[in-house]
Each structure stands twice: as C-alpha cells, then as structure tokens.
Amino acid sequence: MRGSFEQAYWLLISYFAEVRLVDPNFIFDIQTMSCKDKRFIRYVWSFGPPKKTYKLLRPVVVIDGTFLKGRYRRTLRTIITINPSNHIFPLALSITYSETTES
C-alpha cells in the first residue's frame, strides 16, 4: 500500500458511504475521540444480506482477531460463518483497541 495510515483510514469513511449506496442494509459505526479531533477509536461494519440468506447459513460462527502493526496499534476482529456452498461468509468486521473491556 502507498500513502499514510491517516489517508487509508479516511478512505474507509468514503468507502462506507459508497457501499451504503449499493446496499441500503449496510451497517457501520465510526466512533471518534471528539467532533473536532476526528481521531478514531473504533470502526464496526457489517454487510446487510437479505434476511432469507441468514436462514441458509451454517449454525457455526467464528470470531477471530489479528493485531495491526504500525502507527495505529489496534485489533482487527472478524466474524464469519459458512454459506450453503461451503464458502466463507463475512458477517461483521471491526477495528478496536486490543483487549479492553469496552472492546
């Protein structure tokens, strides 16, 4: 990747807005330190598939996390399941602080 971490995280906001245009059920939440500061605390997003899709998913949900390196030391958490075709189906993703009660 080229560019700075700040640019990459700001691109997420515009990416979320674009995805919302295609998928009105797309859910996202961006929490920042203050309105003036705009430094993020955490992001959470989930793609909004049709409700009938959820009925077809396997009853196993996997939650995993990986540590992000660099200037912003956070944890990327993923929640996935398996669809009827045995493919990975992402339910939600988040970027949060590592190992805190609030996270």
Mean of all residue pLDDT scores within the chain: 77
pLDDT in tens, 25-54: 888 887 777 656 566 677 777 877 656 677
Q: Is residue 103 part of a domain?
A: no
- pLDDT above 80 for 21: yes
Residue 102 lies in a domain: no
Largest CA distance in the chain: 46
Q: Is the residue at 15 inside a domain?
A: yes
User: How far is it, in rounded angstroms, from Cα 45 to Cα 49?
Assistant: 13
| HSE-up of residue 1 (Cα within 13 Å, Cβ side) | 9
Residue 69 maps to a domain: yes
Quick one: DSSP state of residue 37? Answer: T
How many Cα atoms within 13 Å fall on the side-chain side of residue 2? 0
Q: Domain of residue 80: give its range.
A: 5-96
Q: Contact at 8 Å (CB) between 94 and 87?
A: no
Q: Is residue 42 part of a domain?
A: yes
Q: How many domains is the chain built from?
A: 1
